[in-house]
Amino acid sequence: MPTPKLSNADPAILAAVADYFKVLSEVSRLQILNHLRSGPMNVMELSDATGLGQANLSKHLKVLTQAGILSRSPKGTSAYYEIIDPVIFKFCELACDRISERVLQQAESFSKLQA
């Protein structure tokens, strides 16, 4: 099935894309994803790793799960969260690479101005 180009996309599709990016626009969620990159974790492990409180963490985990980025698997008295959409890291790497390039360019420009 061909992927629709953004310029030809239905407004409903564009709204869904915007919602997906909104999910990724929260620093705490990016922190959670970064820690889950190494494998499944439960809420206590994620709380220790991120420093987020359990209530706040649970809220973000719910958003990530509803967005289809994470899965939740009950095991005993805990629930483990795992990344089910590894494409998420391609987005993050693309953004990080682009931002790094921009910061380096700005630093270079600033150095030239000071010289």
pTM flag (> 0.85): no
* Type of residue at 92: C
Residue with tokens 């993050």: 92
Average pLDDT of the chain, as a whole number: 89
Q: How many residues are recorded in the chain?
A: 115
Distance CA(109)–CA(71), nearest Å, equals 44
Set out the domains of the chain in order of their start, with CATH numbers.
Answer: 10-85 (1.10.10.10)
Q: What is the pLDDT of residues 57-103, one digit of tens each?
A: 999 999 999 999 999 999 999 999 999 988 888 887 888 888 888 88
CA dist 67 to 2, 24, 40, 48, Å? 22, 10, 17, 24
